[in-house]
Amino acid sequence: MLVLGVVFLLPKLHHRQELREEADTNSGPPPVVVVKLKLGNPDSQMEIPGSVQAFAQTPVFARTSGYVKARYVDIGDHVHQGQLLALIEDPTTEQSLRQAQASLVQLKAQLLQAQANAQLSTVNNDRWKQLYNQGVVAKTDADQRFADAGANDALVEAAKANIVAGEANVRNLEEQLSFSRVTAPFEGVILARNIDTGSLISSGSQSGVTQMFLLGQSNTVRVFTNVPQSAADSIRHARQTEVQFRELPGHTYTGIVARTSGSIDLATRTLLTEIDLKNADGRVLPGMYATVLFNVKTPQPPVMLPANALVVRTAGPQAVVLNGQMSHTSVRSFWGAIWAPRPRC
């Protein structure tokens, strides 16, 4: 046992002696690599995520009830303004229109009858007036003929008014029947289709009513992004910006900063910004994820230093300064610059 103890103990004692000799040799201060700090470019580029929406997007609902007689477009089809999308069969409105047209014919016939009666009453009134002037008939009879002529004239005017009302009813039903032709309100792309031939459709857009189509205009798209408060002032005065898409590598789009919300969101401390983007080739699809590149001018140039010079601790990132030549104010400004947008190299 004693021999085994000596065998295991000797290497440890030898290793301890080597460590002691090495420590005596390196008793001086360890070498330190220093880097001279410098200020970076005050103009930097900020990358912010954004989302794409169609420039104009609207659901298409039916204005009349019935069954879908025919459907002419499907998802992804490009349509122009006024193009026929679907045809709805509406027998109820068709029957009401035929009835209204027949009623209008009756009203016009009643007008002719009323005009004939009014003409006869006018002739009789003139005759009785002459007879009264000759003293042949009593004044009461002459007055009665005069009143009959006035009443018949009033019936003519009433018949004309009934015709105007009947024509308005016919036009209303004709317009209602025209809603059976569902057309595109503007040029765009069919984003969704929820009906097919034979589907039962109810008019209106209230809850529970089937939306026929979703139409979006995508030759120009809107890119919405939330700009941090620190860069809000620079974005408000910007005119153009660049937009990139991960799905379209090597292609950068130039967009116009159309508008901002004009206020900082209290929850996120960001400024909602809209960028209008030309999309003539149709490669940018609504709903895509975008990367918006803003040129930002910082009020104070950032301080450049290697990443391995930072020590990240719970109190925040720290760095060692040689000879303590950096004042407290400079240290505070220095760390403010560390958090500024990093310039692109």
Domain that holds residue 270: 214-338
Q: Is residue 19 situated within a structural domain?
A: no
Residue 3 backbone dihedrals phi, psi, to 5 degrees:
-65, -40
Residues 100 and 67 grouped into a single domain: no
What count of residues does the chain have?
A: 345
Residues 137 and 188 grouped into a single domain: no
Tally of domains within the chain: 3
Residues 110 and 224 grouped into a single domain: no
Q: Is residue 122 situated within a structural domain?
A: yes
Residues 241 and 267 grouped into a single domain: yes
pLDDT of amino acid 229? 87
Which of 169, 187, 191, 145 shows the shortest CA–CA distance to 53?
191
How do residues 282-309 score in pLDDT, each as one tens digit? 889 888 999 999 877 766 777 777 877 7
Residues 126 and 205 grouped into a single domain: no
CATH number, position 271: 2.40.30.170
Residues 163 and 186 grouped into a single domain: no
Residues 273 and 299 grouped into a single domain: yes
Q: Is residue 29 situated within a structural domain?
A: no
Q: Is residue 14 situated within a structural domain?
A: no
Q: Is residue 95 situated within a structural domain?
A: yes
Q: Is residue 105 situated within a structural domain?
A: yes
Looking at this protein, which amino acid is placed at residue 285? L
Residues 82 and 95 grouped into a single domain: no
Residues 238 and 134 grouped into a single domain: no
Q: Is residue 74 situated within a structural domain?
A: yes
Q: Is residue 232 situated within a structural domain?
A: yes
pLDDT of amino acid 117? 85
CA distances from 256 to 54, 238, 259, 277, 283 (A): 15, 9, 9, 7, 18
226 close to 271: Cβ distance less than 8 angstroms: yes
Residues 230 and 148 grouped into a single domain: no
- Which parts of the chain register pLDDT below 70? 1-10, 13, 19, 21-32, 41-42, 298-299, 323-345
Residues 247 and 146 grouped into a single domain: no
pLDDT of amino acid 1? 55
Name the domain boundary from 156, 178, 200: 178
Which of 220, 188, 210, 213 shows the shortest CA–CA distance to 82?
188
What share of residues in the chain are helix, strand, coil (percent, to 5)? 40, 30, 30
Residues 218 and 102 grouped into a single domain: no
**What is the 3-state secondary structure of the chain?**
CHHHHHHHHHHHHHHHHHHHHHHHHCCCCCCCCCCCCEECCCEEEEEEEEEEEEEEEEEECCCCCEEEEEECCCCCCEECCCCEEEEEECHHHHHHHHHHHHHHHHHHHHHHHHHHHHHHHHHHHHHHHHHHHCCCCCHHHHHHHHHHHHHHHHHHHHHHHHHHHHHHHHHHHHHHHHCCEEECCCCEEEEEECCCCCCEECCCCCCCCCCCEEEEEEEEEEEEEEEEHHHHHHHHCCCEEEEECCCCCCCEEEEEEEEEEEEECCCCCEEEEEEEEECCCCCCCCCCEEEEEEEEECCCCCEECCHHHCEEECCEEECCCHHHCCCHHHHHHHHHHHCCCCCCC
CATH number, position 199: 2.40.50.100
pLDDT of amino acid 194? 92
